[in-house]
Amino acid sequence: MKIRALLLAATALSIAPAAQAQEDRLGALERKLAEQQQRIEQLESLVARQSQMLEQVGTPAPAPQVAPPVAAAPVAASTPAAAPQLASAAPAPGGEFGIAGLDVSGDMRVRQEWNYGTARDRSRSAVRARLRATYKIDDHFAVGTQIATGDPDDPNSTDVTLGNFVDDFAVSLDQAWVRYTNGGLTAYAGKFPQIFQRTDMLWDGDVSPQGVGVSYGARLGGARVDARGIWFVIDEAAVARDSDMLGGQLALSAPLGATLKAGLTGSYYHYRLGSVAGADAGDFRGNLISGGRYLSDFHLIEGIGTLGWSGLSERWPLAFTADYVKNLGAAVAGDTAFNLELAAGRTAKPGDWRIAYNYSEVQVDSVLAAFSHDNIDLSTNYKLHGVGIGYVPAPHLQLDLLWYHYRPLDPAYAGALPPREWLDRIRLAFMVSF
């Protein structure tokens, strides 16, 4: 009996260390598993954060929104004149590059053009690229710049014709300005974006005024009133009187119903062309010249009327625009111009279409050719039919097809062009905005 008890005790003593060792090993394994689970959770959290960041970076910016033809915003609305301008007037905002208050945007357009009816039918390819940046200093002040391709001596165009044995493109500082905003008041100084409601018949879309510009907008019941003024420095001279322009505009827009809107704008531009030393052939184009100076003065009265109806559908609004200009300082009878346009559709979202037709008659000294459109060979003294089709295939992309059918209005001022023959220009453009 004693021997059996001793054997049992010895067996228990031998098992105890083994059991303790097993428990120690199990505890170590549990601790390792807990550490590995903690690492797995940390890695899963890191992967989730990285995925979220990648999704944010890869999300496309919203498509550029095009303002409706009826002017209802304090900023000047753009309506076509010498040709239907179908490209977006408001490019999509750019990224901030990690700098608070900085917005960067731009666009690039590739265009093919065909010309018929002149001495030699001609085609050409052209490229335009623009990059702009705005930095908001505080709640009231901002500064901005824009660089663009094109001839820096030509304010009417930023296009570059492909050719010249692959020479590099000329790029220049197209805008540099300071802006102040306070409520409905906006003021610019420098070389700044156009603030006037306009058509290309009087102001080409590439012209950036330089000097000082002020606009103020306010609501009056359901209507909106916008007042705009500008002092435009044209040519500074050391000896002769400087050339400049004082201009003012008053615009009223109001709804006439749930789907019908109307707008009326009156403008006056008083040019004082004392010095023309900085002018070249492109600045005198179209207007009458005597002794190396403009034959006429340019004191322009302009009226723009707009009517928009959106009752057909959201994607197919209808818009009618009429623009009339008279030069009170003209030295000849050719002192008036007008443009009429009818458009249907929009170019705001993918799948949108816009179709436009316009008719213009512009007499020889009715507008200052230095700043009017360059869509055709004639900046003044023309009769024109224009047809345009715009399509948005995807966000930030737009296709435009434009056809201009035109001829000199007065054969006496036709210059080198056939005085009574119709000419044709067709343009196909592809534009990317960001």
67 assigned to some structural domain: no
**Which residue bears the tokens 């039918």?**
121
- 237 band by pLDDT with thresholds 50, 70 and 90: confident
- 200 band by pLDDT with thresholds 50, 70 and 90: very high
Q: Can you give the residue range of the structural domain that contains 55?
A: 16-59
What's residue 98's pLDDT? 77
Burial class (CB in 10 A: 0-12, 13-18, 19+), 405: middle
Same domain, 31 and 175: no
pLDDT at 423 over 70: yes
Give Cα 18 to chain centroid, integer Å.
83
Same domain, 317 and 364: yes
242 assigned to some structural domain: yes
pLDDT at 326 over 70: yes
Phi, psi at residue 400, to the nearest 5°?
-130, 135
What's residue 52's pLDDT? 54
Same domain, 35 and 140: no
Extract the tokens encoding 307.
């009517």
pLDDT digits (tens, 9 = 90+) for 130-141: 999 999 999 999
**60, 91, 136, 209, 384 from 94: Cα distances, Å:** 11, 9, 14, 24, 37
> How do beta strands 353-362 and 336-345 pair?
antiparallel
Better pLDDT: 292 or 262: 262
SS3 track for 31-57: HHHHHHHHHHHHHHHHHHHHHHHHHHH
Same domain, 169 and 311: yes
Better pLDDT: 39 or 423: 423
Whether the CB-CB separation of 66 and 315 falls below 8 Å is answered with no
- Weakest-pLDDT range from 44-58, 151-165, 332-346, 361-375: 44-58
182-206: average pLDDT: 97
**Which residue bears the tokens 């394994």?**
29
Same domain, 138 and 25: no
326 assigned to some structural domain: yes
What's residue 135's pLDDT? 97
Better pLDDT: 27 or 378: 378
- 303 band by pLDDT with thresholds 50, 70 and 90: very high
- 29 band by pLDDT with thresholds 50, 70 and 90: low
Select the highest-mean-pLDDT range: 18-32, 113-127, 209-223.
209-223
Same domain, 413 and 292: yes
Q: What is the pTM of this model?
A: 0.78
What is the distance between the alpha carbons of residues 38 and 44, in angstroms, rounded to a whole number?
10
Question: What is the residue type of 129?
Answer: A
220: domain CATH number is 2.40.160.10
185 assigned to some structural domain: yes
What's residue 88's pLDDT? 42
Per DSSP (E only), the strands in 49-140 are: 78-79, 102-116, 122-136
Q: What residues does 244 pair with on adjacent strands? A: 233, 272
162 assigned to some structural domain: yes
Same domain, 332 and 256: yes
Question: What is the residue type of 373?
Answer: H
pLDDT digits (tens, 9 = 90+) for 162-175: 998 988 999 999 99
The number of distinct structural domains making up the chain is: 2
What is the distance between the alpha carbons of residues 163 and 416, in angstroms, rounded to a whole number?
25
Extract the tokens encoding 340.
């009429």
Extract the tokens encoding 103.
């917005």
pLDDT digits (tens, 9 = 90+) for 204-230: 999 999 999 999 999 998 999 999 999
Better pLDDT: 12 or 211: 211
- Weakest-pLDDT range from 62-66, 126-130, 263-267, 379-383: 62-66
Same domain, 203 and 246: yes
Q: What residues does 426 pair with on adjacent strands? A: 114, 403
191 assigned to some structural domain: yes
Q: Please choose, from the candidates 341, 376, 379, the residue with its C-alpha nearest in 3D space to the C-alpha of residue 363.
A: 379
- 259 band by pLDDT with thresholds 50, 70 and 90: very high
Same domain, 20 and 147: no
416-429: average pLDDT: 94
103 assigned to some structural domain: yes
What's residue 302's pLDDT? 98
48 assigned to some structural domain: yes
pLDDT digits (tens, 9 = 90+) for 270-280: 999 988 888 87
Extract the tokens encoding 69.
């033809």
What's residue 48's pLDDT? 58
pLDDT at 292 over 60: yes
CA distance from start to end of the chain? 98
What's residue 23's pLDDT? 55
What is the distance between the alpha carbons of residues 204 and 282, in angstroms, rounded to a whole number?
13
Whether the CB-CB separation of 99 and 400 falls below 8 Å is answered with no
Same domain, 209 and 121: yes
Same domain, 45 and 93: no
The three-point CA angle 295-364-386 to 5° equals: 155
Same domain, 30 and 125: no
